[in-house]
Chains A and B, each alone.
Chain A
Amino acid sequence: MTLRTERLEPIFDPERSTREFAHYTIGRGDVDAAMRQADHVIEGTYRVGHQEQLYIEGQAMIAVPREDGGVTIHGSCQCPYYIHTAMTKALNMTSQQVVVIQSETGGGFGGKEEYPSMIALHAALLALKVSKPVRMIYDRHEDISATTKRHPAIVRYRTGLSRDGELLAQDIEVIMDAGAYTTLTPVVLSRGAIHAGGPYRCENVRIIGRAMATNTPPNGAFRGFGAPQTQFAAEMQVNRAAEVLSLSPLEVRRRWAYREGDTTPTGQVLRASVGSHEVLEAAAETGAYERHRSQNREARELRTATARIASGTGPAMAWHGAGFTGSGEVHLASVASLELTDDGRIRVLTASTEMGQGTKTIFPQLVAEALGVKSDEVEIAPQDTSIVPNSGPTVASRTAMVVGGLLIKAAAKLRDLVEADTGMAFADGYRTFAAEHGPMRVDEQFSPYPGEPFDDKTYTGDAYPCFGWAACVADVDVDLDTGEVTVKSAVSADDIGRVIHPVLAEGQVEGGTLQAVGYATIEEIKLTDGRYQNDRLATYLIPTALDAPRITSILIEKPYSGSPHGAKGVGELPMDVAAPAVLDAIHDAIGAWIHELPATPERVLAALAGIQAPLHPGVSAAAPPKP
């Protein structure tokens, strides 16, 4: 037998790809008519590259064969039930034959949402073949080479303005580079498209989102889930609009930012819990925005040709829908449970994982508060699929709001039951109740939040039960000789609804802000012939303590009335907002716009010289010619 293979021309540019993985059209009003009436139409094309999650603990799984012919999986992951489903399907096992136990996970950021299913399956196949436990640990090089990244994207944007500074129309095309396989691309694109207008009121909006296949490694979930890509473009357009209108970027945002009662591109009316203006004013005040801008202006006027450093200050805003998009939470139908054991212990049963963000701190806290007991009287059952119900994946900033809400409802039921029976306060009576009645378990299943149901076909309705709102003010120094950007400080104000645990919530804002600063300045994957070139920690750089700005987090509380505790979610929101703030600050410093992330020295120097930097982010260079 002879086999002849032929190399086909690879596709690296998503705009040249003919294979579409997902497509959405969102819109309201009459964009074309509004554009015709506009006094100014601002056009821009924005490009962002890959970003690696770079959790410090790499991906790892252990598979242990079971006596019933099944397999038990231990490992680092965000979503034990995703692995459970993957294993039962791929290995044709019953749900009892597969047990997945999460190990306390060393960071995820979306990178351990989907990919762990793959490694678990590989380990399981080997374990079943040799009838012995198999452990697979990706070293850092394997991890960066193989696991999914944030999607590169191209966003083409037209903004129509009236002479007096009204936002008349937004016409947006989002093209995401999915890489070679579908992965979570459709849902990433969906969230990216829904957020593409930014947190601004506009009556005429058209958003077209497409995700295209390319011959590059597949992309997937990363904190923000499509929204950082599109909101970078949205914020750049707002800043350029401010320039055209001769208004301050802060003033334009004051005029345009959503208020309660406004309608989003999917037709969702923002009924309540809209903290957009509060976060904007808080960030501007704490970041000393006006003072820094005027100092920068004075310095710019005095700057000589031999000046080395230029300072700039920039604002940005963002919104982030809390929980799964559209009908996602209804389809998940999550269950969270509380158990009173016969020896009088209170146990939380959920599949929600701890990866540093604080699940195991806030769940006992919320349940204890609802039951009127101390936090340390509430324990957490292991994230083991043979013990806990499917409370859904630990993603989409949903754990505190959705699963936390279910636990509070379950706690109220348990409390009523015990108090009605014993005639005592729960705290005083629950041990006696347990001793007399034996174990008791309350399961609480998700029921839809109030509002207009989302229509997946027309992309209209309430895309999210509510939104988080953020504003950031960043201060940068730009080295005019080297093009290097130093982010000196970042103030991020975030409306996350009721704050459950201030220290943990601040930690989310600070960590998300630094990931966004990395995205804005240094984090980029270079590709040649469709392969990652910088696939080691020595070559893919993330910010160190010396690179990190001084980060100030301000928590604003506009509680959401649809969840019993008023929480809205915090994890992803800060990731959306800091990168555009840094890019606007660079413009304040050097007077030139950079339309691509990250703003590397090459791109800064090209912008200073008024030329286009040679390589767009996220696009693979062709294979070098064979010698």
Chain B
Amino acid sequence: MTYQFHINGEAVEVQAPGMRRLLDVLREDLGLTGTKEGCGEGECGACSVLVDGAVVDSCLVPLCQAEGASVATVEGLADGEHLDLLQAAFLETGGAQCGICTPGMLLAGHAYLAALPAGQEADDDAIREAIAGNLCRCTGYTKIVEAIALAADRRSGDSAGA
């Protein structure tokens, strides 16, 4: 079967069985290895991507469900060597240690930021809720929460200045 969808803004066409895991399509068929596999059963969130803006575990999503959708992966965040706001915040606060949860965390963080009304301050509990489906074994989550709050703060600073 042939499926058409968008990845990080670019149209792609994939020929593969419809029940092939989106994770395998991304990593193996399209060579986008930024998305990681931690458990393969929807528990760890390492393989999180955004499908039409919603955080999903790509190990549980069959390719056929991506038909016509807009998929965002970690590869779409940076502009060349220029990190996006959230990536820069992770780097600055120490939000990434081993890095395996980081791609998924970044996308879960982006979904949180996208849903945060402009001008509203980031809330520690709400950030934790937003990343509760993404396991990290290195950081104790402290610096990840700090990073997302920092990005939210800078984003609202930017929009206030704009």
Query: Could you list 18 further interchain pairs (A-B, Cβ under 8 angstroms) beyond the known A57-B36, A513-B140, A548-B128?
Result: A56-B44, A56-B135, A56-B138, A104-B99, A106-B100, A107-B97, A139-B39, A140-B39, A506-B94, A507-B140, A510-B142, A511-B97, A511-B137, A537-B38, A537-B43, A544-B132, A546-B128, A548-B141
Contact between A56 and B97 (Cβ–Cβ < 8 Å)? no
Residue with the highest number of chain A CB atoms closer than 10 Å, among B129, B137, B139, B145: B137
Taking the closest CB of chain A, its distance from the CB of B98, in whole angstroms, is 3
Contact between B140 and A514 (Cβ–Cβ < 8 Å)? yes
The listed residue (B101, B129, B131, B143) touching A56 by CB distance below 8 A is B101
Please tell me if B41 contacts chain A, counting CB pairs below 8 Å. Answer: yes
Contact between B100 and A538 (Cβ–Cβ < 8 Å)? no
Please tell me if B86 contacts chain A, counting CB pairs below 8 Å. Answer: no
Please tell me if B144 contacts chain A, counting CB pairs below 8 Å. Answer: yes
The listed residue (A58, A504, A551) touching B142 by CB distance below 8 A is A551
6 A-B pairs within 8 Å (CB atoms) are namely: A140-B40, A507-B143, A513-B140, A537-B43, A542-B137, A545-B136
Binding site of B, secondary structure by majority: helix, strand, loop or mixed?
Answer: loop
Contact between A56 and B94 (Cβ–Cβ < 8 Å)? no
Provide the bound-state CA to CA distance between A512 and B128, in Å: 19
| Chain B residues within an 8 Å CB radius of A106 | 36, 98-100
The listed residue (A57, A139, A140) touching B100 by CB distance below 8 A is A57
Known contacts: A57-B36, A551-B142. The answer to whether A538 contacts B137 by CB under 8 A is no
User: Contact size class for A?
Assistant: 35 or more
Q: Interface of B with A (CB < 8 Å)? A: 36-41, 43-44, 46, 93-94, 96-101, 127-129, 131-145
Provide the bound-state CA to CA distance between A55 and B46, in Å: 11
Contact between A504 and B94 (Cβ–Cβ < 8 Å)? yes
The listed residue (A140, A356, A515, A553) touching B97 by CB distance below 8 A is A356
Residue with the highest number of chain A CB atoms closer than 10 Å, among B36, B46, B131, B143: B143
Known contacts: A510-B139, A542-B135. The answer to whether A139 contacts B40 by CB under 8 A is yes
Contact between A510 and B137 (Cβ–Cβ < 8 Å)? no
| Chain A residues within an 8 Å CB radius of B99 | 104, 106, 356
Provide the bound-state CA to CA distance between A53 and B137, in Å: 8
Provide the bound-state CA to CA distance between A537 and B47, in Å: 14
Nearest residue in B to A501 (C-beta to C-beta)? B94
| Chain B residues within an 8 Å CB radius of A104 | 99
Taking the closest CB of chain B, its distance from the CB of A551, in whole angstroms, is 5
Please tell me if A327 contacts chain B, counting CB pairs below 8 Å. Answer: no
Taking the closest CB of chain A, its distance from the CB of B45, in whole angstroms, is 9
Residue with the highest number of chain A CB atoms closer than 10 Å, among B98, B101, B129, B132: B98
Contact between B41 and A511 (Cβ–Cβ < 8 Å)? no
Contact between A546 and B98 (Cβ–Cβ < 8 Å)? no
Nearest residue in A to B143 (C-beta to C-beta)? A507
Nearest residue in B to A57 (C-beta to C-beta)? B100
Interface residues in A418-456 (C-beta closer than 8 Å to B): none
The listed residue (B44, B100, B138) touching A507 by CB distance below 8 A is B138
Contact between A545 and B128 (Cβ–Cβ < 8 Å)? yes
